[in-house]
Each structure stands twice: as structure tokens, then as C-alpha cells.
Amino acid sequence: MSQTTKENLLLFGATGYIGTYITEQIVANKSSFGKIALFTSANTVEKKTDVINKLKSASVEVIVGDASKKEDVVKAMQGIDTVVSAVGRTAIAVQIDWIKWTTEAPSVKRFFPSEYGTDIEYNAESANEAPHQQKLKVRKALREAQNLVHTYVVTGPYADGRNGTFFGFNPARAELGGFDVKGKKAVLTGDGNGKISLTGLVDVGKLTVKALLHPEATKNKALKVNSFTTTGNEIVAEFEKQLGEKWDVSYTSFERLRELEKEAYARKDPAATIFTLRRLWAEGGTLYEKRDNDLIDANDMETLEDAVRASIKAQQSS
């Protein structure tokens, strides 16, 4: 594929949680790409009819099949240059098969696996963290794939007000930290002054598009990008400023975070990985000496003010 040739894209997980934002931004920039296709299940087509029809009206080709069947996936890959995956955590491992199957679709040269979160190779301890295990196997498969180049879009936690994101709040797990717009209260980790790198959901899509359009700068790279870096105390101050009210703030120590995490795994809590991620974020596992936004011309990103405004809207409408 020459520098002037527009890439044909195949998207997996395109209508999922983070995939929706990635797909929206790819479609918004469709003039920069060749064919845009998404692979999805018959069940998704049935349950998300409006979404699928909207994508079709935007000239996105919808390919229906079984992602676990080699013949279906290989057929969908024919004529495709780049695969972009945004599958959810429970489907991470299936990407290993897709990577292997690209050998039967010679046009496929680039692969973006489902990352869009915490850096799973941040330091030596990263290899032992429970939430990282399947993604680490995917990275290993990509490094061994001689027919592919890859890009890992590493964004850190999401700056969004819904439950499960950094700006969200779950009363059942309040000690893990969060921001409760309706209750006007926040739980911060440590002393609230630890820095954290965050990315807005729309920016995840924008950053993925930028990475796609800078193939040389992102070749075989873990691209560490974000919207902004801030602290818990600064986030609270912005919520108070925008809402015009003082918030009740409490704190969870790092030691307590580790206790909560250990207890979650001991009781086999299905959400135990969230405890680990919260602990990693609190301990600075999203910070880098230098972010890679410059490499892909992506410095015009969401601000803390933007993120807080979006979070207020998300929580007030929920």
C-alpha cells in the first residue's frame, strides 16, 4: 500500500461501548479512508437496528457473521488493509485467532487491537496484574506476526461521568473513588494531589483516527496519548465551579485500596478487575515523561472543563 492509497478498514466491536466513539470518528473522517466495513453478529443487527441503519446510510459496509468462525472472518478481511478492534474485555482473547487468520488475507498489513485504556506494560509489575493478562497475550501474538504491523492506542482511564469511568460514581464501591454529581460529593485516593492522565470518550475516537492517518509514526508502537492530566482535587474544584456548590470530599488511602482489591478477589467478585484498575490509576500508572500526542498531530483535545461539563450532563440525565 503506497502513502497515497486510502486504507480500507475493517472494524470489530464497532457498536460497543468504546467502539461507538471510534466508529463515529472514523465515519466523520471517511474521506480520508477507502472502504469502511464493520463485522458484527446477527444478534447485534437485530438489537441495534437504528445504529446499523445509520451506519449503512453513511456508506459503511455491514458484514454479518460469527467472529469465532475462521471462514467468516477471513472472508470479511479480503481487500482490507487495516483491522481496528474495539471488542470488550470478555472478547479480548478472540483477537489472537484473528491475528493468525490474517495470513489468509494478504491485503491486511496493520492491526489495531482493543486497548484504549491502562498501559498493560507500564512497568515490570504490569505482567502480573489480573486485568492485563488477555491483552498481554494479544500483544505477544502481534509481535510474533511477521505479516503485520501494529499500533496500541493507550489512552488511560476515561473522563466521563458514567459508572465505571474515572469521573463516575458507584455507591456500592464508593471507597474506590469517584464523583457524585447528584450527591455533590467525591471520594479521592491518597491525598487527592496525585496526577492522573485522562482521555475523553470522543477523544478516544479522534486519537484512533489520528493514529490511523500517521502510519509511520505509529508503526509497532504503544501510543501513549491523552486529553489532559490533572489531580483529584483539581477535578473537584472544577465540579464546584461549574455547579456553584461546595462538595463533600473524603479520601481513601492507597493501603485501603489494596485491601479492597484483595478482598474483591478473595470473594471472587466479578468486578474485581475494576478494583485493580482503580489502584493502578491511583498509584500513577497512567503517567509518562512525555505523551505521544505530538507524533500524530493530536494536541487539540478535550480539557478538564469540557470533561466535567460532559460528566455533569451524563450523571444528571441518568
Instruction: Determine the Cα–Cα distance for residues 166 and 198; give it in Å rounded to an integer.
Output: 8
135 catalytically annotated: yes
Length of the chain: 318
Q: Which of the 8 DSSP states describes residue 66? A: -
Largest CA distance in the chain: 60
Q: What are phi and psi of 64, to 5 degrees?
A: -100, 130
Contact (CB, 8 A) for 65 and 75: yes
> How distant, in Å, are the alpha carbons of 39, 165, 191, 273, 307 from that of 171?
36, 14, 20, 17, 21
| 152, 115 contact by CB (below 8 A) | yes
Q: How far apart are CA 85 and CA 115, in angstroms?
A: 9
Alpha helices for 70-197 (secondary structure H): 70-77, 94-101, 133-144
Catalytic option among 47, 48, 70, 135: 135
Residues acting as catalytic residues? 135
